[in-house]
Amino acid sequence: MASNLDTVILFADACETFTTEILPMIQEQYEQDGIPDMPARREAWCNWVDSLNQNEQISDWQADNWDHPPCNDDNAPRTSSWTGKPWTISY
C-alpha cells in the first residue's frame, strides 16, 4: 500500500486533473441531456482515486480522507431547464 511516499499528488491538483481530463468523458457518455449525472461522477472519482492509490501516486490516508471535487457537488451548474427541485408526483 501507499503509506510512506516521498511525493504525492495534492488534492487541488487531483481535482483539476479530474475536472479537465476525466469529467469531459463522463459528460459525453452520461450527460447528453445537460443534467449532471452525479452517481456517474462520484463513481468515476472514487475509481480514479483508487487507481491513484494503487499506483502509489497518493497515500492511503489521502485515498481514505479525500472528499469529492466541487464538480461532483449536488449544486453543480445545471442547464437552464433544470430547476434543481424534485419532480412533482401526481397520484
Q: pLDDT for 12-64, tens place per residue?
A: 999 999 999 999 999 999 999 989 999 999 999 999 999 999 999 999 999 99
Q: How many CA atoms lie within 13 A of 67 on its CB side?
A: 5
Domain presence at residue 81: no
Answer whether residue 5 shows pLDDT above 90. no
Domain presence at residue 83: no
Cα distances (Å, whole numbers) of residue 39 to 31, 48, 57, 66, 71 = 11, 14, 24, 17, 12
Domain presence at residue 23: yes
**Length of the chain counted residue by residue:** 91
Question: What pLDDT digit, counting tens, does each position of 71-91 carry?
Answer: 888 765 554 444 445 555 555
Q: 5: which 3 cell numbers?
A: 511516499
Domain presence at residue 2: no
Q: Which domain holds residue 28?
A: 17-72
Domain presence at residue 57: yes
The total number of structural domains that make up the chain = 1
Domain presence at residue 36: yes
Domain presence at residue 90: no
Q: What is the structure's pLDDT at 45?
A: 95
